[in-house]
């Protein structure tokens, strides 16, 4: 059962041009989460594409770059590689490796064109006075490295927001449990037995509330 969210793969589409000699492009895997991630690249077309790294571990808030090389000689618009992610926990010395928790996957779509004129993402500029049309080259677009920086920033912001929500939730829980314990401790035992719950003293429930509040407070103080 996958859990959410899933680490980033940037960019999510890769384009190759048969008319060009260079057929190797780079993409990166970025892990914005507070735990290490194991990734595995599933390449369904090994005869057409080569991947520099089939699996590896990305440390928390780090990224790793991979290269994908196109050896195909025919255009294709339906290929891709899938990157699966698992929550990684390094086994302790003398212990058997534990099964890794599946996180999810990302798909990198691959487009192979005869030349750049067939690529709809290649934007044409307005013709100049001389009548020539300049085509925006792939190098002018954001590189995978730059996009990874953007993903890093977005991922860090998402993690920070998630942490703030957890802290506020825990604080609210502590205050609620303390208030509940205080009310129970001041409640008359006879009234509680006649109107709420017979056979249990409200002071006992107050102790339970205080204990739970203490446990949540310890969790909050040790939260990273």
Give one DSSP letter per residue of 55-98, joined into a string.
EEEE-TTEEEEEEEEE---S-EEEEEEEEEEEE--PPPTTSPPP
pTM metric for this prediction: 0.56
Coil vs helix vs strand at 220 = helix
Would you place residue 76 in the very low, low, confident or very high pLDDT band (cuts 50, 70, 90)? very high
d(CA 215, CA 15): 53
Would you place residue 152 in the very low, low, confident or very high pLDDT band (cuts 50, 70, 90)? low
d(CA 119, CA 133): 16
Distance of CA 100 to the CA centre of its chain: 16
Burial class (CB in 10 A: 0-12, 13-18, 19+), 100: middle
Contact status, residue 70 vs residue 49, Cβ threshold 8 Å: yes
**Mean pLDDT score of the chain:** 80
Judged against a pLDDT cut of 70, whether residue 3 lies above it is answered with no
Tens-place pLDDT, residues 90-137: 767 766 666 688 999 999 999 999 998 998 887 554 344 434 333 333
- CATH for 8-119, among 2.60.40.3880, 2.40.50.100, 3.30.1480.10, 2.60.40.10? 2.60.40.10
Best CA proximity match to 15, nearest among 70, 91, 95, 74: 70
């Amino acid at each position: 059962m996958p859990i959410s969210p899933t680490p980033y793969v940037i960019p999510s589409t890769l384009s190759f041009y048969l008319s060009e000699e260079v057929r190797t492009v780079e993409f990166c895997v970025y892990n914005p989460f507070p735990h290490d991630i194991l990734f595995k690249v599933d390449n369904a077309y090994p005869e057409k594409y080569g991947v520099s790294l089939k699996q590896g571990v990305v440390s928390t808030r780090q990224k790793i770059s991979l290269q994908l090389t196109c050896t195909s000689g025919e255009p294709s618009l339906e290929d891709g590689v899938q990157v699966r992610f698992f929550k990684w926990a390094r086994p302790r010395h003398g212990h058997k490796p534990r099964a890794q928790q599946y996180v999810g996957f990302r798909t990198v779509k691959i487009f192979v064109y005869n030349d750049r004129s067939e690529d709809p993402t290649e934007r044409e500029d307005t013709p100049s006075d001389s009548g020539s049309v300049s085509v925006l080259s792939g190098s002018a677009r954001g590189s995978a490295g730059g996009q990874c920086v953007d993903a890093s920033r977005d991922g860090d912001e998402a993690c920070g927001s998630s942490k703030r929500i957890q802290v506020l939730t825990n604080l609210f829980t502590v205050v609620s449990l303390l208030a509940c314990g205080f009310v129970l401790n001041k409640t008359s035992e006879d009234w509680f037995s006649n109107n709420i719950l017979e056979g249990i003293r409200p002071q006992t429930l107050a102790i339970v509330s205080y204990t739970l509040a203490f446990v949540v407070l310890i969790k909050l103080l040790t939260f990273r």
